[in-house]
Copies of this chain bind each other. A is one copy, B any other.
Amino acid sequence: MSKATRMTKQKKVILDILRNTDCHPSADWVYEQARKLVPDISLGTVYRNLNVLRDSGHILELNYGSTYSRYDGHAENHYHFYCEKCHQLFNVKIPVYEGLDKLVKETTGFDVKNHRMEFYGLCNDCKASLSSSSSM
């Protein structure tokens, strides 16, 4: 399906970083981490590889909630929660409703391949810091 895709040191490092984190980092964060292992890696290379890995289905690009994309090294579909105060992304551990794709396919006639769902609100820490009036 995709082009040759040569496995370079840089691409391997980027994929490893994403696979071994449970947060949903920005391209810049990945770049900072990658520099510890490949000091002369460039930000352009990070972006290029993130796009390649996204296109080949190895990672997810999450582009809601803020002005920049975040990436997720776990490509199986799952839902996310976005905290509107601290802007963190969390995984939501409820089952993915596969049947929804079929329902929408029947309703619209479109060729539905997958779906995404994001929940919005306040995470535990931010909820607490609000209810205790001002925390500092």
Instruction: Select from chain B the residue with minimum beta-carbon distance to A130.
Output: B111
By a beta-carbon cutoff of 8 Å, the part of chain A in contact with chain B is 63-65, 79, 81, 83-84, 90, 92-94, 100-101, 103-104, 107-124, 127
Interchain CB contact under 8 A, B119 and A114: yes
A-B contact pairs, 7 of them (CB 8 A): A63-B65, A93-B107, A94-B104, A94-B107, A110-B122, A116-B117, A117-B118
Interchain CB contact under 8 A, B121 and A113: yes
Residues of B contacting A119 with CB < 8 Å?
100-101, 104, 110, 112, 114-115
- Inter-chain CA distance A81–B115, complex, in Å, is 9
Q: Which of B92, B107, B112, B124 contacts A104 (CB 8 A)?
A: B92
